[in-house]
């Protein structure tokens, strides 16, 4: 069992749910990314999703795209991100996963990426642009290394295909709450809970919901049906303020925000 598998087993046995914040690696720099991860862990977040900057993200909204652009402007490299994660993973309790394009993994080398990510203390990878029809080889590499491959199911994914995606995934399933891109929203789809409920009836994998979740009210609404909730743009937007504000104040703001979400999970 991976660290993620163990975590969700413990959460389910205690009736608790996960909160998974998202941060962009290298925005504004890798040192501050590490500081944010430590702060999220200190506040009690359950997992952390670390975005590997990519020039052509397929599902990220304006806030995360802008953070990727800023990070890439610093000539950030995957090896530098993994070096940072190797240090911080030894200092935090929560598992770390990467959100990474398969184009990057393919260029890096499938076996090499999994080996290096695992050596850096990373427990799995969310790969949004890996088609289930093309996932078999990478899925096998991940299984052999006890490394979780986390894939996405969307509201428009045909049900037969959703089951196929679940069968080739491990760790947890990432359920995309809306048909669209990431970003903070005031309302979530009315049929979201019903759709997730059906998916839960088809797989034993934990299901974490992302896209659009930004308010304690969203957390309260979805915690009965979700195993975990993923929050990205609202955190990335706050971290971006480090360019113009004292970093200590930004960390405090991020901490207070995630604390309000964690309180809603209780």
**Residues belonging to the active site:** 49, 60
| Nearest partner of 172 among 210, 123, 147, 206, judged by Cα | 206
Domain that holds residue 239: 3-258
Mean pLDDT in residue range 213-241:
92
Give the CATH number of the domain where residue 135 resides: 3.20.20.70
Longest CA span, the chain: 50
- pLDDT on residue 187: 53
- pLDDT on residue 1: 84
Residue 258: φ, ψ to 5°: -65, -30
Grouping H, G, I as helix, E, B as strand and the rest as coil, residue 214 is coil
Q: What beta strand segments (E) does the chain contain?
A: 18-24, 48-51, 96-99, 122-126, 148-150, 152-153, 173-176, 207-210, 228-231
pTM score of the predicted model: 0.92
- By 3-state DSSP, what share of the chain in percent is helix, strand and coil, each rounded to 5? 50, 15, 35
Q: How many H-runs (helices) and E-runs (strands) does the chain carry?
A: 12, 9
Is residue 14 classed exposed, middle or buried when 0-12, 13-18 and 19+ CB atoms within 10 A define those classes?
Answer: exposed
Q: What is the pLDDT of residues 25-57, one digit of tens each?
A: 999 999 999 999 999 999 999 999 999 999 876
- pLDDT on residue 178: 67
The answer to whether residue 263 is domain-embedded is no
The answer to whether residue 67 is domain-embedded is yes
As a whole-number percent, the residues of the chain with pLDDT over 70 amount to 93
Mean pLDDT in residue range 201-218:
91
Kindly state the tokens that stand for 180: 């669209």
Mean pLDDT in residue range 9-32:
96
Residue 19: φ, ψ to 5°: -115, 120
Mean pLDDT in residue range 203-207:
96
- pLDDT of 252 higher than 80: yes
The answer to whether residue 12 is domain-embedded is yes
- pLDDT on residue 182: 47
The answer to whether residue 265 is domain-embedded is no
- pLDDT on residue 85: 98
Kindly state the tokens that stand for 206: 């934990």
Spatial contact of 254 and 239, defined as CB atoms under 8 Å apart: yes
Q: How remote is the C-alpha of 13 from its chain's centroid?
A: 22
Q: What is the pLDDT of residues 82-106, one digit of tens each?
A: 999 999 999 999 999 999 999 999 9
Total structural domains in the chain?
A: 1
Looking at per-residue pLDDT, the higher value among 233 and 25 belongs to: 25
Q: What is the pLDDT of residues 137-195, one digit of tens each?
A: 999 999 999 999 999 999 889 999 999 999 999 999 999 986 544 444 445 556 788 88
CA 183/CA 181 separation, integer angstroms: 7
As a whole-number percent, the residues of the chain with pLDDT over 90 amount to 80
Q: How confident is the model at residue 61 (pLDDT cuts 50, 70, 90)?
A: low
- pLDDT of 216 higher than 90: yes
The Cβ of residue 53 has, within 10 Å, a number of other Cβ atoms equal to 26
């Amino acid at each position: 069992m991976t660290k993620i598998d163990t975590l969700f087993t413990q959460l389910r046995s205690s009736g608790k749910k996960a909160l998974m914040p998202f941060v962009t690696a290298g925005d504004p720099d890798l040192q501050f990314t590490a500081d944010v991860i430590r702060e999220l862990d200190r506040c009690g977040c359950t997992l952390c999703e670390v975005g590997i900057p990519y020039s052509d993200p397929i599902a990220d909204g304006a806030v995360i795209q802008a953070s990727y652009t800023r990070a890439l402007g610093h000539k950030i490299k995957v090896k530098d991100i993994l070096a940072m994660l190797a240090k911080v993973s030894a200092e935090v309790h929560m598992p770390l996963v990467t959100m990474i394009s398969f184009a990057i993994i393919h260029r890096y080398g499938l076996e090499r990426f999994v080996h290096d990510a695992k050596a850096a203390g990373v427990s799995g990878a969310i790969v949004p642009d890996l088609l289930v029809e093309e996932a078999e080889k990478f899925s096998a590499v991940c299984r052999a290394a006890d490394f979780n491959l986390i894939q996405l199911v969307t509201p428009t994914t045909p049900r037969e295909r959703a089951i196929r995606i679940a069968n080739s995934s491990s760790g947890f399933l990432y359920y995309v709450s809306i048909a669209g891109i990431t970003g903070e929203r005031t309302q979530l789809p009315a049929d979201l809970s019903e759709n997730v409920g059906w998916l839960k009836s088809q797989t034993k994998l934990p299901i974490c919901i992302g896209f659009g979740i930004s308010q304690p009210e969203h957390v309260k609404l979805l915690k009965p049906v979700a195993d975990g909730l993923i929050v990205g743009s609202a955190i990335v937007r706050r971290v971006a303020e480090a360019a113009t504000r004292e970093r200590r104040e930004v960390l405090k703001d991020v901490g207070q925000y995630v604390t309000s979400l964690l309180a809603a999970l209780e």
